[in-house]
Chain A
C-alpha cells in the first residue's frame, strides 16, 4: 500500500465519515441506515492508518498488491449494498403504490353517497 493511496483512502473515508455524522446530527439519516456507512468508513480509516492487517490478509490470499485487495473489498461491499438498496427501493415503491391506492379508495368512498 503506497503512501499516496493510504492518504487518499484516509481523506476520502474521513470526509465521508464526517458527512454521514453531519446527516445524523441534522436528523436526515436514520440510525439503522447510517450504521453501515459509519462502520465501512471507520474500517477504511483504520486500514489507511494501519495497513498491516490488509497486507497480511492479501498475502494470505495470494493477491499480489494489497491495493488490489482493498479495491476488491470495497467493490464487493458496495455491490452488496447496492443490491440490498435495490431490494429496499422495490419494497418502498410497492408500499407507496399501496398507500396511494388506499388513500384513493378512501377518498372515493368518502365522496360517494352509498353507505358500505
Chain B
C-alpha cells in the first residue's frame, strides 16, 4: 500500500453511516479525502431529516439513501453489502460526526496487512482510561468481553473498525451481525483475529445526541446481556 504515490494495491471502502449529520458531514468527508486519499468512501444516509442528502448531492459524494431511519446496524450493513458487491478487500466503519480521525486509516490498513487480522479496532483507551459514566460502562463491557472470550479488548465500543473481505461477506448478508461489541465477541470465539490500534478521537462538534445518558445506559445493558447470556447460546460456525 503506497499512500504517498497515490497508488493503492487493494480496494478499501470507508462506510460513513449518517443520521442527521448534515452540519458536520462536509468537513468530515473533505478531511477524509485529504488524509486518506487512496481509499474510496460511501455515505449511507440513514433516513436523515436534515440536509444530509443535499450536502451529498451538492458535493457529488457517493451516497446511498435509505428511505427511513433503520438504525446504525442496518446502515452499516447496507454499506457492507455495497462493499461486498463491489469487490472491496477491506471496509472501514467511519463516523459522520467527526469523531474519527482519518489520519489513522493508513496505519490501520498497514496493521491489517502485516498481521493478517480479520478486524482492526481503533482504541481510545490503550494508554489511558476514562473516569466518566461512559468509562464505567466501558469497563463493564471490557470485563464481559474478557469473561466471554478470555481475551482483552481495551475499547469494545469504539466505532472505528476495519474489516477484511471475509468479515465483509459475513456482515453483509447475515442476521445478528450488528457492528457492535457482541458481534466482536461472537467472531472472536470463532477464532477471528481482532487487533487493536491506539487512536485518539474527537468529541462531536455539531449535532447532539439527546437523551444520551438513558440511551447509553440502555445500550450498555443490552450489550452486557447479549455478551454474557445470548452469545453463549449462539451456534459457532466453522472456525474462521
- Residue positions of A touching B, CB distance < 8 A: 21, 24-25, 27-28, 30-32, 34-35, 38-39, 42, 95, 98-99, 102
Are A30 and B176 in contact (CB-based, < 8 A)?
A: yes
Which A-chain residue is minimally distant from B226 (CB atoms)?
Answer: A31
Are B230 and A35 in contact (CB-based, < 8 A)?
A: yes
Which B-chain residue is minimally distant from A91 (CB atoms)?
Answer: B68
B233 on the interface (CB 8 Å rule)? yes
B8 on the interface (CB 8 Å rule)? no
**What 4 new A-B contacts, CB under 8 Å, besides A27-B176, A35-B222, A95-B68?**
A25-B235, A30-B176, A34-B230, A35-B230
In the assembled complex, how far is the CB of residue A25 from the closest CB belonging to chain B, in whole angstroms?
A: 5
Are A98 and B67 in contact (CB-based, < 8 A)?
A: yes
Contact of B234 among A25, A28, A30 (CB under 8 A): A25
Are A25 and B233 in contact (CB-based, < 8 A)?
A: yes
Are A98 and B68 in contact (CB-based, < 8 A)?
A: yes
In the bound complex, CA of A42 to CA of B232 (Å): 15
- Residue positions of B touching A, CB distance < 8 A: 67-68, 174-176, 178, 182, 222, 225-226, 229-230, 233-235
In the assembled complex, how far is the CB of residue B77 from the closest CB belonging to chain A, in whole angstroms?
A: 12
Are A24 and B68 in contact (CB-based, < 8 A)?
A: no
Contact of B182 among A25, A28, A31, A42 (CB under 8 A): A31
Pull 18 A–B residue pairs with CB atoms less than 8 Å apart, ordered by A: A24-B230, A24-B233, A25-B233, A25-B234, A25-B235, A27-B175, A27-B176, A28-B175, A30-B175, A31-B178, A31-B182, A35-B230, A38-B229, A38-B230, A42-B229, A95-B68, A98-B67, A98-B68
In the bound complex, CA of A48 to CA of B68 (Å): 44
Closest 9 CB pairs of A and B: A21-B233, A27-B175, A25-B235, A35-B225, A31-B176, A31-B226, A102-B67, A31-B230, A95-B68
Report B-chain residues with C-beta under 8 Å of the C-beta of A39.
Answer: 225
In the assembled complex, how far is the CB of residue B7 from the closest CB belonging to chain A, in whole angstroms?
A: 38
Report A-chain residues with C-beta under 8 Å of the C-beta of B176.
Answer: 24, 27, 30-31
